């Protein structure tokens, strides 16, 4: 028997679909290589294998379609299909001409879904009263202001190739009193500032801005030990 449940985004009762938390296309390189590099709580722990992306019944069909627009944009931006301007300067890759609304709402929908997920993989993501604020932004197609839930992105390279076959369980960290969440997928570290106050200026400059610009710190890592060192030093970068 099929029952209607409350959609987590529009909050109407409807038949819910299985939604992924991290979009399926970010798992593709893992499937292609038959390689499930890291899906564990920490690089020191043995890897756990998940046969597929993590799915959960969260959204109605309309809301799933609504979010898929942002995902589609993110896929084209990060994997290919949209030509945008990029310039490499030292450790930074400066991207411009990004659709602020579409990419911001992709970033917001990602952390929001992780926050409402009951799957153990996302258990470190607990957004409290921010959960509903982010839900309202997504539902009204409002990308919000640069500083609100801004996301600092770091590109992970191995031999100068983006390390797309690495997914690490999200972590909740503290940075100068602010709560930040660190996600690793799609070749990037995604660091979200979840706070009511404006993040530090260094972080603010690294967020996507309404003009469509974002600087991405590109880092070569040899192994996961390097990643841990990088994770500790994330905020010590002085260039931003």
Give the interface with Zn ion as residue ranges (CB under 5 A): 7, 9-10, 60, 63
Residue 12, Cα to own-chain centre: how many angstroms? 26
Select 65 or 120, whichever has its Cβ closest to Zn ion.
65
Residue pair 187/158 in contact (Cβ under 8 Å)? The answer is no
CB of 69 vs Zn ion, minimal distance in Å: 14
Select 138 or 194, whichever has its Cβ closest to Zn ion.
138
CB of 116 vs Zn ion, minimal distance in Å: 12
**Cross-strand pairs, 179:** 174, 194
Buried/exposed code over 193-209 (b: 16+ C-beta within 10 A; e: otherwise): bbbeeebeeebbbbbbb
CB of 206 vs Zn ion, minimal distance in Å: 32
C-alpha triplet 135, 187, 25: angle, nearest 5°:
60
Cα–Cα dist 173/156, whole Å: 19
CB of 45 vs Zn ion, minimal distance in Å: 36
Select 116 or 151, whichever has its Cβ closest to Zn ion.
116
Select 40 or 142, whichever has its Cβ closest to Zn ion.
142
The residue of the chain with the least Cβ separation from Zn ion equals 7
């Amino acid at each position: 028997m099929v029952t209607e449940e409350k959609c987590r985004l529009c909050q109407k009762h409807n038949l819910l679909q299985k939604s992924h938390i991290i979009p399926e296309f970010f798992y593709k390189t893992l499937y292609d290589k038959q390689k499930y590099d890291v899906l564990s709580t920490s690089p020191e722990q043995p890897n756990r294998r998940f046969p597929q992306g993590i799915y959960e019944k969260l959204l109605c069909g309309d809301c799933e379609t609504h979010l898929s627009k942002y995902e589609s944009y993110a896929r084209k931006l990060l994997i290919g299909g949209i030509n945008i301007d990029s310039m490499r300067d030292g450790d930074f890759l400066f991207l411009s001409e990004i659709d602020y609304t579409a990419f911001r709402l992709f970033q917001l929908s990602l952390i929001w879904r992780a926050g409402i997920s009951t799957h153990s993989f996302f258990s470190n993501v607990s957004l409290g009263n921010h959960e509903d604020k982010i839900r309202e932004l997504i539902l009204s197609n409002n990308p919000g202001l640069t500083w609100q839930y801004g996301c600092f992105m770091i590109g992970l390279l191995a031999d100068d190739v983006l390390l797309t076959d690495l997914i690490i369980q999200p972590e909740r960290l503290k940075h100068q009193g602010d709560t930040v969440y660190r996600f690793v997928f799609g070749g990037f570290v995604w660091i979200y500032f979840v706070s009511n106050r404006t993040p530090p200026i260094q972080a603010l400059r690294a967020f996507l801005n309404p003009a469509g610009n974002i600087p991405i710190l590109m880092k070569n890592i040899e192994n996961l030990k390097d990643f841990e060192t990088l994770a500790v030093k994330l905020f010590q970068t002085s260039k931003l």
